[in-house]
Amino acid sequence: MDSSRMKELLPRSVRRRLGALRRWLRARPQRTQRQKEQLLASGALSPAEHELLSRVESVISYADGMYKGDGAHYFNVGLSAIHCIEAALNAAQITTVNNILDLPCGYGRVLRFLVPRFPQARITACELLPDAVRFCVEQFGAVPAYSSYKLNKLSLDAQFDLIWCGSLITHLDAPRTLDLLEFFARQLAPGGLVICTTHGDFVAERILDAAEFYGLPHASIPALVASYRQHGYGYLDYPEAPGYGVSLTAPAWLRTQARAAGDLREVYFRARGWDDHQDVFGFVKEA
């Protein structure tokens, strides 16, 4: 029986339990450990990547929505984030990093790489999902920080010299993106660097070509892309999550907002820099 037919026949509660069981089975620690070892043995990594990955924790939470069962992809996304961070640090001429914020940390897809890459640093894991924060604290020794839906109310009792913000702007409407940029300006130490990612031209083309709908209703996509093309920004809520959705952000639009949010000076940009997918920006807070 195909899966769509099964969906029609099974009650929602049973489907939910089966989904959880499937996620739990695919995230078994022995399985994710084997996936990491296979990637290490694949010959596809540079010596530096190999060395870093060999020191990365392979336990993945079954609740991690970023893990779809493909360990090679999951770990490569973490490695790609480290490349972005290193390139932006270079561009900003920052050589010492002591205090890092990962917002949103999720279940530590990137944070697990930050730990061995910056072994001396204090690393704060910040999320809306308390369970994800707890996982990062227990598995990777991160400092916990619980976020707020209202980013203009979010305040942490530290100044960071590095903030990694992977795939949050990609889900925010325009006012909340501005709130997030203002949060960066508030929480960065003078001279500190924030690296954030967005959906740009690549995603606009992909979503329009019907290669991938990013969880949005198909019929809504032309208007989203038209707004992006016309105004440099487009946003739509997910159908079942008012206030949370998918954004498309042109580089010029984000630069203007970053300037308006505070003294955030662009030092780095790379289209599709993260995982060959999301655009990557580095902004430094003026000293």
Ligand X SMILES: C[S@@+](CC[C@H](N)C(=O)[O-])C[C@H]1O[C@@H](n2cnc3c(N)ncnc32)[C@H](O)[C@@H]1O
Where on the chain is the footprint of ligand X (CB under 6 A)?
A: 66, 103-104, 106, 109-110, 127-129, 147, 149, 151, 166-168, 171
Q: Across the strands, what pairs with 99?
A: 122
Q: CA-to-CA distance for 136 and 111, rounded, in angstroms?
A: 8
Length of the chain: 287
Taking the complex as a whole, the smallest distance from the CB of residue 219 to ligand X amounts, in Å, to: 24
Taking the complex as a whole, the smallest distance from the CB of residue 69 to ligand X amounts, in Å, to: 15
Residue closer to ligand X by CB (options 103, 181) is 103
Residues with Cβ within 8 Å of 32's Cβ and at least 6 positions away in sequence, in order, are: 58, 59, 60, 71
Taking the complex as a whole, the smallest distance from the CB of residue 167 to ligand X amounts, in Å, to: 4
Residue closer to ligand X by CB (options 127, 161) is 127
Taking the complex as a whole, the smallest distance from the CB of residue 5 to ligand X amounts, in Å, to: 30
Query: ∠ CA 34-35-38 to the nearest 5 degrees?
Result: 85
Residue closer to ligand X by CB (options 171, 285) is 171
Residue closer to ligand X by CB (options 77, 221) is 77
Q: CA-to-CA distance for 162 and 102, rounded, in angstroms?
A: 9
Helix axes 71-92, 29-41, angle to 10 degrees: 60
Taking the complex as a whole, the smallest distance from the CB of residue 20 to ligand X amounts, in Å, to: 17
Q: CA-to-CA distance for 148 and 103, rounded, in angstroms?
A: 11
Taking the complex as a whole, the smallest distance from the CB of residue 261 to ligand X amounts, in Å, to: 16
E strand or H helix at 216, and its extent?
none
Backbone angles phi, psi at 184, to 5 degrees: -55, -45
Taking the complex as a whole, the smallest distance from the CB of residue 201 to ligand X amounts, in Å, to: 19
Residue closer to ligand X by CB (options 97, 246) is 246
Q: CA-to-CA distance for 175 and 243, rounded, in angstroms?
A: 11
Residue closer to ligand X by CB (options 70, 286) is 70
Q: How many CB atoms lie within 10 A of CB 54?
A: 12
Residue closer to ligand X by CB (options 156, 229) is 156
Residue closer to ligand X by CB (options 44, 241) is 241
Taking the complex as a whole, the smallest distance from the CB of residue 29 to ligand X amounts, in Å, to: 18
**Do the Cβ atoms of 106 and 131 come closer than 8 Å?**
no
Alpha helices in 120-266 (DSSP H): 130-140, 174-187, 201-208, 221-231, 251-261
Identity of the residue numbered 161 = D
